[in-house]
Amino acid sequence: MPELPEVEVTRRSIAERLRGAQVTSVRCGKPLRWPLGCAPELLVGSRLGEVTRRGKYLWLPMNRHTGLPPAGLDGGLLMHLGMSGSLAFHDSADDPGPHAHFDLGTTQGLLRLTDPRRFGAVLWSQAIDAAPAALLLARLGAEPFDPALTPQVLHAACRRRKVAIKTLLLGGQVIVGAGNIYACEALFRAGIDPRTRCDRLSLPGCTRLLAALRETLGRALEVGGSTLRDFSDAHGVAGEFQAEAMVYGRDGQRCLRCGAAVRRIVQAQRSTYFCPVCQKRA
Ligand SMILES: [Zn+2]
Protein backbone atom coordinates (compact mmCIF):
# COMPACT_ATOMS: atom_id res chain seq x y z
CA MET A 1 0.00 0.00 0.00
CA PRO A 2 1.47 3.40 -0.91
CA GLU A 3 2.32 5.25 2.31
CA LEU A 4 3.12 8.92 2.82
CA PRO A 5 6.76 8.69 1.64
CA GLU A 6 5.71 6.94 -1.57
CA VAL A 7 3.03 9.56 -2.18
CA GLU A 8 5.52 12.37 -1.56
CA VAL A 9 8.06 10.73 -3.88
CA THR A 10 5.28 10.44 -6.48
CA ARG A 11 4.48 14.15 -6.01
CA ARG A 12 8.09 15.11 -6.56
CA SER A 13 8.29 12.90 -9.63
CA ILE A 14 5.29 14.49 -11.38
CA ALA A 15 5.15 18.08 -10.08
CA GLU A 16 7.76 19.69 -12.29
CA ARG A 17 6.43 18.19 -15.50
CA LEU A 18 2.80 19.08 -14.74
CA ARG A 19 3.46 22.69 -13.68
CA GLY A 20 1.95 24.96 -16.34
CA ALA A 21 0.76 22.04 -18.52
CA GLN A 22 -2.65 22.27 -20.16
CA VAL A 23 -5.17 19.44 -20.04
CA THR A 24 -5.78 18.03 -23.53
CA SER A 25 -7.84 14.91 -22.72
CA VAL A 26 -9.34 13.01 -19.81
CA ARG A 27 -10.18 9.31 -19.90
CA CYS A 28 -11.95 7.56 -17.02
CA GLY A 29 -11.73 3.76 -16.90
CA LYS A 30 -13.60 1.52 -14.48
CA PRO A 31 -15.13 3.18 -11.39
CA LEU A 32 -12.69 4.10 -8.64
CA ARG A 33 -13.58 4.69 -5.01
CA TRP A 34 -15.71 7.75 -5.81
CA PRO A 35 -17.00 9.22 -9.07
CA LEU A 36 -15.00 12.09 -10.60
CA GLY A 37 -17.66 14.65 -9.72
CA CYS A 38 -17.69 16.53 -13.01
CA ALA A 39 -17.97 15.74 -16.70
CA PRO A 40 -14.41 14.75 -17.75
CA GLU A 41 -14.51 16.86 -20.92
CA LEU A 42 -15.04 20.04 -18.87
CA LEU A 43 -11.45 19.73 -17.63
CA VAL A 44 -9.99 20.01 -21.12
CA GLY A 45 -8.23 23.33 -21.50
CA SER A 46 -7.50 23.80 -17.78
CA ARG A 47 -3.96 24.80 -16.86
CA LEU A 48 -2.24 22.92 -14.03
CA GLY A 49 -0.51 24.59 -11.11
CA GLU A 50 1.83 23.23 -8.43
CA VAL A 51 1.00 19.70 -7.21
CA THR A 52 0.82 19.58 -3.41
CA ARG A 53 0.30 16.79 -0.87
CA ARG A 54 -1.75 16.53 2.31
CA GLY A 55 -1.47 13.19 4.08
CA LYS A 56 -1.69 10.60 1.32
CA TYR A 57 -3.76 12.86 -0.93
CA LEU A 58 -2.31 14.74 -3.89
CA TRP A 59 -3.89 17.97 -5.03
CA LEU A 60 -3.57 19.01 -8.67
CA PRO A 61 -4.81 22.61 -8.87
CA MET A 62 -6.25 23.83 -12.16
CA ASN A 63 -7.26 27.15 -13.62
CA ARG A 64 -9.47 27.99 -16.56
CA HIS A 65 -7.68 30.14 -19.13
CA THR A 66 -8.67 33.08 -21.30
CA GLY A 67 -7.27 31.86 -24.64
CA LEU A 68 -9.01 29.79 -27.24
CA PRO A 69 -11.79 27.46 -26.01
CA PRO A 70 -12.16 25.04 -24.35
CA ALA A 71 -11.25 27.09 -21.31
CA GLY A 72 -11.39 24.33 -18.72
CA LEU A 73 -12.42 24.81 -15.11
CA ASP A 74 -11.18 26.51 -11.96
CA GLY A 75 -10.62 24.02 -9.17
CA GLY A 76 -8.53 20.88 -9.06
CA LEU A 77 -8.26 17.14 -8.73
CA LEU A 78 -7.79 15.40 -5.40
CA MET A 79 -6.05 12.08 -5.97
CA HIS A 80 -5.50 9.10 -3.67
CA LEU A 81 -3.53 5.98 -4.55
CA GLY A 82 -5.67 3.70 -2.36
CA MET A 83 -4.23 0.21 -1.75
CA SER A 84 -2.48 -0.39 -5.03
CA GLY A 85 -2.44 2.80 -7.11
CA SER A 86 0.49 4.42 -8.84
CA LEU A 87 0.85 7.52 -10.97
CA ALA A 88 3.32 7.76 -13.81
CA PHE A 89 3.76 9.38 -17.20
CA HIS A 90 3.17 7.22 -20.25
CA ASP A 91 4.24 7.81 -23.83
CA SER A 92 0.95 6.88 -25.43
CA ALA A 93 -2.76 6.82 -24.65
CA ASP A 94 -3.13 3.67 -26.75
CA ASP A 95 -3.58 0.27 -25.16
CA PRO A 96 -4.04 1.43 -21.55
CA GLY A 97 -4.36 -2.14 -20.24
CA PRO A 98 -6.93 -3.48 -17.74
CA HIS A 99 -5.77 -1.51 -14.68
CA ALA A 100 -5.40 2.03 -16.06
CA HIS A 101 -8.49 3.78 -14.67
CA PHE A 102 -7.69 7.45 -15.15
CA ASP A 103 -5.64 9.20 -17.82
CA LEU A 104 -4.91 12.91 -17.72
CA GLY A 105 -3.58 13.91 -21.11
CA THR A 106 -1.61 17.16 -20.97
CA THR A 107 0.59 19.23 -23.25
CA GLN A 108 3.57 17.89 -21.25
CA GLY A 109 2.68 14.18 -21.23
CA LEU A 110 0.03 11.66 -20.28
CA LEU A 111 -0.31 11.05 -16.55
CA ARG A 112 -1.92 7.70 -15.79
CA LEU A 113 -3.37 6.24 -12.59
CA THR A 114 -2.86 2.48 -12.60
CA ASP A 115 -4.77 0.78 -9.79
CA PRO A 116 -5.53 -2.97 -9.91
CA ARG A 117 -7.64 -2.96 -6.74
CA ARG A 118 -9.44 0.32 -7.51
CA PHE A 119 -9.49 1.74 -3.97
CA GLY A 120 -7.80 4.82 -5.36
CA ALA A 121 -9.66 8.01 -6.18
CA VAL A 122 -9.67 11.01 -8.48
CA LEU A 123 -12.11 13.60 -7.28
CA TRP A 124 -12.96 16.99 -8.73
CA SER A 125 -13.26 19.82 -6.19
CA GLN A 126 -13.81 23.55 -6.70
CA ALA A 127 -10.98 24.27 -4.26
CA ILE A 128 -8.87 22.34 -1.77
CA ASP A 129 -10.73 24.09 1.05
CA ALA A 130 -14.18 23.48 -0.43
CA ALA A 131 -16.30 20.30 -0.51
CA PRO A 132 -15.63 17.51 -1.29
CA ALA A 133 -11.83 17.89 -0.85
CA ALA A 134 -12.13 19.80 2.42
CA LEU A 135 -14.36 17.13 3.98
CA LEU A 136 -11.83 14.37 3.28
CA LEU A 137 -8.81 16.40 4.38
CA ALA A 138 -10.51 17.61 7.58
CA ARG A 139 -10.20 14.10 9.07
CA LEU A 140 -6.42 14.04 8.81
CA GLY A 141 -3.98 14.49 11.67
CA ALA A 142 -0.99 16.82 11.57
CA GLU A 143 1.70 16.56 8.91
CA PRO A 144 4.71 14.87 10.53
CA PHE A 145 7.11 17.64 9.49
CA ASP A 146 4.78 20.52 10.41
CA PRO A 147 6.76 22.76 12.83
CA ALA A 148 3.49 23.40 14.70
CA LEU A 149 3.53 19.72 15.69
CA THR A 150 5.69 19.93 18.81
CA PRO A 151 6.31 17.23 21.43
CA GLN A 152 3.95 19.19 23.70
CA VAL A 153 1.17 19.02 21.10
CA LEU A 154 1.73 15.27 20.64
CA HIS A 155 1.82 14.75 24.41
CA ALA A 156 -1.48 16.60 24.88
CA ALA A 157 -3.11 14.55 22.10
CA CYS A 158 -1.80 11.28 23.61
CA ARG A 159 -3.16 12.12 27.05
CA ARG A 160 -6.70 12.31 25.70
CA ARG A 161 -6.59 8.71 24.41
CA LYS A 162 -6.19 5.26 25.91
CA VAL A 163 -5.23 3.13 22.87
CA ALA A 164 -1.76 1.61 22.37
CA ILE A 165 0.69 4.08 20.90
CA LYS A 166 1.24 1.92 17.80
CA THR A 167 -2.51 1.89 17.13
CA LEU A 168 -2.69 5.66 17.58
CA LEU A 169 0.14 6.20 15.07
CA LEU A 170 -1.44 3.90 12.48
CA GLY A 171 -4.86 5.55 12.84
CA GLY A 172 -3.58 8.84 11.46
CA GLN A 173 -5.97 11.04 13.48
CA VAL A 174 -3.12 12.68 15.42
CA ILE A 175 -0.22 12.43 12.94
CA VAL A 176 -0.51 11.28 9.34
CA GLY A 177 2.14 9.26 7.57
CA ALA A 178 3.05 6.56 10.09
CA GLY A 179 2.14 3.53 7.97
CA ASN A 180 2.89 0.12 9.48
CA ILE A 181 6.57 -0.17 8.59
CA TYR A 182 7.29 3.44 9.58
CA ALA A 183 5.35 3.18 12.87
CA CYS A 184 7.25 0.01 13.88
CA GLU A 185 10.63 1.47 12.99
CA ALA A 186 9.94 4.83 14.67
CA LEU A 187 8.89 3.11 17.93
CA PHE A 188 12.08 1.04 17.84
CA ARG A 189 14.23 4.13 17.28
CA ALA A 190 12.43 5.86 20.17
CA GLY A 191 12.83 2.81 22.47
CA ILE A 192 9.07 2.67 23.16
CA ASP A 193 7.12 -0.59 23.50
CA PRO A 194 4.34 -0.48 20.86
CA ARG A 195 1.80 -1.72 23.45
CA THR A 196 2.32 1.34 25.68
CA ARG A 197 -0.99 3.09 26.32
CA CYS A 198 -0.61 6.53 24.80
CA ASP A 199 -2.00 8.37 27.83
CA ARG A 200 0.94 6.96 29.82
CA LEU A 201 3.61 8.31 27.47
CA SER A 202 5.77 10.97 29.10
CA LEU A 203 6.73 14.25 27.47
CA PRO A 204 10.33 13.00 26.98
CA GLY A 205 8.85 9.84 25.40
CA CYS A 206 6.78 11.97 23.01
CA THR A 207 9.88 14.05 22.22
CA ARG A 208 11.85 10.90 21.30
CA LEU A 209 8.93 9.47 19.33
CA LEU A 210 8.39 12.60 17.23
CA ALA A 211 12.11 12.86 16.46
CA ALA A 212 12.24 9.14 15.61
CA LEU A 213 9.21 9.37 13.32
CA ARG A 214 10.74 12.32 11.47
CA GLU A 215 14.07 10.48 11.09
CA THR A 216 12.28 7.35 9.84
CA LEU A 217 10.12 9.17 7.29
CA GLY A 218 13.05 11.39 6.30
CA ARG A 219 15.13 8.31 5.59
CA ALA A 220 12.32 6.75 3.53
CA LEU A 221 12.10 9.94 1.47
CA GLU A 222 15.87 9.86 0.95
CA VAL A 223 15.70 6.23 -0.18
CA GLY A 224 12.78 7.05 -2.47
CA GLY A 225 14.46 10.14 -3.84
CA SER A 226 17.74 8.39 -4.55
CA THR A 227 16.15 5.36 -6.19
CA LEU A 228 13.28 7.09 -7.97
CA ARG A 229 14.84 6.88 -11.41
CA ASP A 230 14.91 3.08 -11.09
CA PHE A 231 11.14 2.83 -10.52
CA SER A 232 8.40 3.43 -13.01
CA ASP A 233 6.40 4.49 -9.96
CA ALA A 234 7.08 4.98 -6.27
CA HIS A 235 6.12 1.49 -5.07
CA GLY A 236 9.70 0.44 -4.58
CA VAL A 237 10.26 2.94 -1.75
CA ALA A 238 8.87 0.81 1.10
CA GLY A 239 10.60 -2.28 -0.28
CA GLU A 240 13.91 -0.47 -0.53
CA PHE A 241 13.45 1.06 2.93
CA GLN A 242 12.57 -2.35 4.38
CA ALA A 243 16.01 -3.65 3.41
CA GLU A 244 17.44 -1.48 6.20
CA ALA A 245 14.62 -2.01 8.74
CA MET A 246 15.71 -2.69 12.32
CA VAL A 247 12.60 -4.67 13.37
CA TYR A 248 9.95 -4.66 10.62
CA GLY A 249 9.57 -8.12 9.06
CA ARG A 250 12.35 -9.55 11.27
CA ASP A 251 10.41 -11.67 13.81
CA GLY A 252 12.56 -14.38 15.35
CA GLN A 253 15.76 -12.76 14.11
CA ARG A 254 18.26 -11.10 16.43
CA CYS A 255 17.79 -7.43 17.29
CA LEU A 256 20.52 -5.54 15.48
CA ARG A 257 21.15 -3.46 18.60
CA CYS A 258 20.99 -5.92 21.54
CA GLY A 259 20.82 -9.43 20.06
CA ALA A 260 17.46 -10.40 21.64
CA ALA A 261 14.86 -12.05 19.39
CA VAL A 262 12.58 -9.59 17.59
CA ARG A 263 8.90 -10.32 18.33
CA ARG A 264 5.81 -10.09 16.18
CA ILE A 265 2.38 -9.38 17.69
CA VAL A 266 -0.93 -8.29 16.16
CA GLN A 267 -2.43 -4.91 17.05
CA ALA A 268 -5.58 -3.59 15.38
CA GLN A 269 -5.33 -6.45 12.85
CA ARG A 270 -1.84 -5.40 11.75
CA SER A 271 1.51 -7.01 12.48
CA THR A 272 3.72 -5.15 14.93
CA TYR A 273 7.42 -5.97 15.14
CA PHE A 274 9.48 -4.88 18.14
CA CYS A 275 12.44 -5.71 20.38
CA PRO A 276 11.22 -6.64 23.89
CA VAL A 277 14.56 -5.51 25.38
CA CYS A 278 15.28 -2.25 23.56
CA GLN A 279 11.67 -1.03 23.68
CA LYS A 280 10.25 -0.23 27.12
CA ARG A 281 6.72 0.31 28.38
CA ALA A 282 6.23 3.74 29.84
ZN1 LIG B 1 17.05 -4.95 21.05
pLDDT value at residue 225: 63
Ligand 1 center to 224 CA (angstroms): 27
> Mind listing the pLDDT tens digit for each residue in 32-51?
999 999 999 999 999 999 99
CB 54 within 8 A of CB 137: yes
Give the chain's residues under pLDDT 70. 225-239
Give the C-alpha separation, 207 to 222, whole Å: 22
Ligand 1 center to 262 CA (angstroms): 7
Ligand 1 center to 217 CA (angstroms): 21
pTM: 0.92
* Residues annotated as catalytic (active site), given as ranges: 2-3, 56, 270
Other Cβ atoms less than 10 A from the Cβ of 101: the count is: 21
Ligand 1 center to 206 CA (angstroms): 20
pLDDT value at residue 227: 57
pLDDT value at residue 66: 83
Distances (CA, A) of 258 to 61, 116, 177, 254, 275: 49, 41, 28, 8, 9
Ligand 1 center to 246 CA (angstroms): 9
- Angle separating helix axes 4-18 and 203-227, nearest 10 degrees: 50
pLDDT value at residue 231: 46
How far does CA 148 lie from the centroid of its chain?
20
Distances (CA, A) of 52 to 9, 39, 67, 158: 11, 23, 26, 28
Strand ranges, E, within the chain: 23-28, 47-48, 52-54, 57-63, 75-80, 86-90, 100-106, 109-114, 121-125, 263-267, 270-274
Contacts of 147 (CB under 8 A, 6+ apart): none
Question: Closest Cα partner for 45 from 28, 21, 11?
Answer: 21
pLDDT value at residue 26: 96
pLDDT value at residue 186: 97
Ligand 1 center to 254 CA (angstroms): 8
CB 138 within 8 A of CB 176: no
